[in-house]
Homo-oligomer: A and B are copies of this chain.
């Protein structure tokens, strides 16, 4: 569009106060640190606009300082690694710098593409016609052999789970090497589907070394899998992007390592890291811990992230919020009231604890089947 400057990436930083400095001076330091990274006196004047971050606002806010620093989209060079670097690379090493929000240029978001499936596409993949939550069971623990993992997958599928995912710790260990266990679990779910007439999807974990990922993706596809699980912070956010864009599969993104970024006064807010960045990179579902489980996410935080994953963003599809980390199967009815239809529930331990995991899965499946969009919050 001739004559209009490109939109800028506006990053809302919160910073611990720095003795002898001011909110404006601190914001300018961040703006330089993340771009030119030379003393201000060494910055050629011509670079101040298009390259160095611009301090849009800076002010004290209670005990902390806040600043909005904007970056020309060209600084990110159209690449996720450089986008991460400009947002938080060096300032991560300073004290008390947190990204609380990012206003994204629509073209930048659209250029990465976002999810391929989103909530509706995931439901379609699972053969779910009505707009209701999805139930995802989990294969674990590691250490079981492929036969026993497949047996468990079969039971969850027979019980009516919409998806059965690998635990994120199932990799290529000697107890259950990747190709053997994925082929066996996929076949077990396919057989259960054939018996039941269902469309349960088996979701293998493809988090892998760079040199092994292509081989595992091929094995997963050959086993008939069209959805995979990946831990983006373990293998790099751009690996999620590459899989989502190039491999023709849907991706469930696991938050392993993400908690390192969730310090109260330092890091990147879950709404930005899991909510925006995972989604922009192409996560069809983003897994995170539900309130009341084994992790310290409270309901307000879960609702906020749930909203972030579905908010309008550069025209890309929403990601499906996938709540896990200790969801009690008996409480899923309650959580549907809280989150609504566009929710995936990952239920693991709670089904394993049941005397009969298959009928516990069936009970859980009947809860979500009764719910459609009409009762959405």
Contact = CB atoms under 8 A, between A and B. Distances in A.
Interface stretch (A59-67, A77-85, A121-129, A190-198): A77-85
B77 A174 contact: yes
B37 A348 contact: yes
B77 A38 contact: no
A308 to B, nearest CB: 17
A35 B295 CA distance: 16
Interface in A77-96: 77-82, 84-86, 88-95
Contacts of A94: 259, 294-296
Contacts of A174: 74, 77
A47 to B, nearest CB: 4
Interface stretch (A136-144, A154-162, A369-377): A136-144
Interface string A237-279: 0110110001000000001111111110011100000000000
B141 A37 contact: yes
A210 interface: yes
A361 interface: no
Given A38-B348, A208-B79, A231 B89 contact: yes
A39 B261 contact: no
A234 interface: yes
A352 interface: yes
Interface residues of A, number: 86
A168 interface: yes
Contacts of A168: 85, 89-90
Interface in A196-253: 207-212, 231, 234-236, 238-239, 241-242, 246
Contacts of A294: 29, 33, 94
A77 B172 contact: yes
Identical chains in the assembly:
2
Given A81-B207, A235-B236, A242-B209, A36 B142 contact: yes
Nearest to A354: B42
Contact of A236 (B42, B239, B256, B259): B239
A352 B296 contact: no
A248 to B, nearest CB: 15
Nearest to A240: B210
B95 A35 contact: no
Interface string A282-318: 0000000100001111000000000000000000000
Contacts of A44: 141, 143-144
A118 interface: no
B258 A92 contact: yes
19 contacts: A37-B141, A43-B141, A51-B141, A51-B143, A77-B174, A79-B171, A81-B234, A81-B235, A84-B256, A91-B259, A93-B255, A93-B259, A93-B297, A209-B238, A210-B210, A234-B236, A236-B239, A259-B266, A263-B266
Interface of A: 29, 33-39, 41-44, 46-47, 50-52, 74-75, 77-82, 84-86, 88-95, 140-144, 167-169, 171-175, 207-212, 231, 234-236, 238-239, 241-242, 246, 255-263, 266-268, 289, 294-297, 325, 348-349, 352-353
Given A50-B143, A79-B208, A84-B256, 5 more contacts: A38-B348, A39-B349, A47-B143, A51-B143, A79-B172
